[in-house]
Amino acid sequence: MNDSAPLEAPAVVTNPSAPSTDRKEAHAIEVRHLSRWFPGVHAVRDVSFTVERGQVIGFVGANGAGKTTTMRILATLDHPTSGEAHVCGHNVVTHPAEVRRCIGWMPDHYGTYSHMTVLEYLDFFARALGYKGNERIERIAEVMEFTDLTGLADRLIDALSKGMGQRLCLGRALLHDPEVLILDEPAAGLDPKARVELKHLIRILAQEGKTVFISSHILSELGEMCDSLLFINQGRIIHHGSAESLRRGNAATSVVEVQLAGGLGRLAEWAALSPHVTFREATKSGGRIEIDSVEPEVIASVLRRMVNEGLPVTDFHLQERKLEDAFIEILGEIEAAGMPIVS
Ligand code: ATP
């Protein structure tokens, strides 16, 4: 909330006749100094970020942080107060039709069409998108197969579970085979099985080369499927980085938990004689060691040596910060600094 924000958003200067930028060279998403004020609320403040083609990027923030507002602007459903956003090289304000052709949009709440079946719903949108005849039938069949809805073709939308409804909404967003998917809280309210299914679908879409911009406040979920995470807090971007770098933090050393067949064995003794390694403590079925590097090659060489020198290793895994802890830590740093960090 920003009391000093103007009550009315100033108009955005648009020039529909300006050429769209060269889309082949363009980032999938490029946002520059984007702001959106609502009366009394500065929902998005000077946000800048880029998303490369083929990336899956998680958009993370608490309730009211500004995720939906940013996504709605990218989906051409709202105008920024100031700043610019481009999707596949097209300006969202001056070239909304081109942007809509490139994107599949899944809102956090989809409209209820209680009187329609799954097939009728997809058919309605496929017609609206201009699909005709066999092409339409084939495209709907492909989308229903991908989202595992084929067996539910005649089910009324009213009678779908939350997970089925989310898959239908994703199917609708995929009908025109868009390059970029903008998914607002697609996993909200899903049970663990439906979340796993959704994650699986998003991974397949990423493998097919789609760019996926996905919001959630469940960080562990995003960490598993995203190339990078974008944190937003009170309308400002406070961090943009890979899940691995967040889990690692600023540490200069790596802590590894090692399990050995037969328990601790000679791990402490081995560590004492090994370069780069310090024995930290014993655990139930092995021990914790510290390696004086975060370089994957050095960590791999320690494991190789351990095995070559006869230690019966059954498990060797890095201890990392939880993403939630990383998020809280970043928020704490911002508060301590007394000012927001803007990317
Ligand atoms: P959630 O996780 O709860 O969906 P969010 O991160 O998506 O939250 P937004 O919906 O973007 O957050 O809202 C950001 C801020 O802007 C909130 O304070 C919200 O109340 C305000 N806001 C959003 N839309 C409007 C609107 N149309 N009019 C006035 N204020 C709005």
Element (H, E) at 74: helix 67-74
Give the Å distance between the CA of 68 and the centre of ligand 1: 7
Looking at ligand 1, which residue's alpha carbon is closest to its atom 31?
38
Give the pLDDT confidence of 251-280 residue by residue, as tens digits: 778 889 999 887 666 888 889 888 889 998
Which of 38, 184, 237 to probe ligand 1 with, by most ligand atoms within 8 A of CB?
A: 38
What's the pLDDT at 4?
36
- Closest C-alpha to ligand 1, atom 20: 64
Cα 301 to ligand 1 centroid, rounded to whole Å: 49
Q: State pLDDT tens for residues 86-99.
A: 999 999 999 999 99
Centroid of ligand 1 to alpha carbon of 65 (angstroms): 7
How far is the centre of ligand 1, averaged over its atoms, from the C-alpha of 328 (Å)? 21
Strand order of the β-sheet with 286-291 is: 277-283, 286-291, 254-260, 313-318
What is the four-CA torsion angle of 85, 91, 93, 98, rounded to 10 degrees?
-130
Nearest CA to ligand 1 atom 29: 38
Q: Residue 62 CA: which ligand 1 atom is closest?
A: 2
* In the predicted structure, residue 20 carries a pLDDT above the cut 70: no
Distances (CA, A) of 327 to 1, 126, 215, 231: 21, 40, 15, 8
CA of residue 38 to ligand 1 center, whole Å: 9
**CATH fold for the domain made of 250-318:** Alpha-Beta Plaits (3.30.70)
**Between 279 and 332, where is the model more confident?**
279
Spatial separation of the C-alpha atoms in residues 6 and 204, rounded to whole Å? 44
The Cα 198–Cα 241 span in angstroms is 23
Separation of CA 39 and ligand 1 centre (Å):
12
- How many whole angstroms from 234 Cα to the centroid of ligand 1? 10
Our mutation pick for probing the ligand 1 site, out of 34, 69, 230, counting the most ligand atoms within 8 A of Cβ, is 69
**In this model, does residue 293 exceed pLDDT 70?**
yes
List b or e across 167-189, with b for residues whose CB sees 16 or more CB atoms inside 10 angstroms: bbbbbbbbbbebbbbbbbbbbee
Residue with the smallest CA separation from ligand 1 atom 12 is 64
- Sequence-distant (6+) residues with CB within 8 A of 187 are 166, 195, 198, 199, 216, 218, 221
> Three-state SS for 93?
coil
pLDDT in tens, 204-251: 998 899 999 999 877 777 877 888 999 999 999 998 988 877 777 777
313-318/254-260 β-pairing: antiparallel
pTM (2 d.p.): 0.79
Q: What is the pLDDT of residue 23?
A: 53
CA of 63 to the centre of ligand 1 (A): 8
Ligand 1, atom 9, lies closest to the CA of 66
- The residue among 250, 265, 273, 213 whose CA lies nearest residue 329 is 250
Residue of the CA atom closest to atom 30 of ligand 1: 38
Q: Which CATH superfamily is domain 53-73+97-247 in?
A: P-loop containing nucleotide triphosphate hydrolases (3.40.50.300)
Pocket of ligand 1 (CB under 6 A): 38, 41, 43, 61, 63-69, 108, 217
The tens digit of pLDDT for each residue in 309-327 reads 988 899 998 887 778 888 8
Atom 19 in ligand 1: residue holding the nearest Cα: 64
Q: Judge if 53-73+97-247 and 250-318 fold alike in CATH terms.
A: no
Which sign, positive or negative, has the C-alpha torsion 278, 279, 281, 283?
positive
> Do 104 and 180 form a contact (C-beta atoms < 8 A)?
yes
Distance from Cα 338 to the centre of ligand 1, integer Å: 24
Distances from the Cα of 1 to the Cαs of 43, 69, 235, 333, in angstroms?
8, 14, 9, 21
Residue ranges covered by each domain of the chain:
53-73+97-247, 250-318
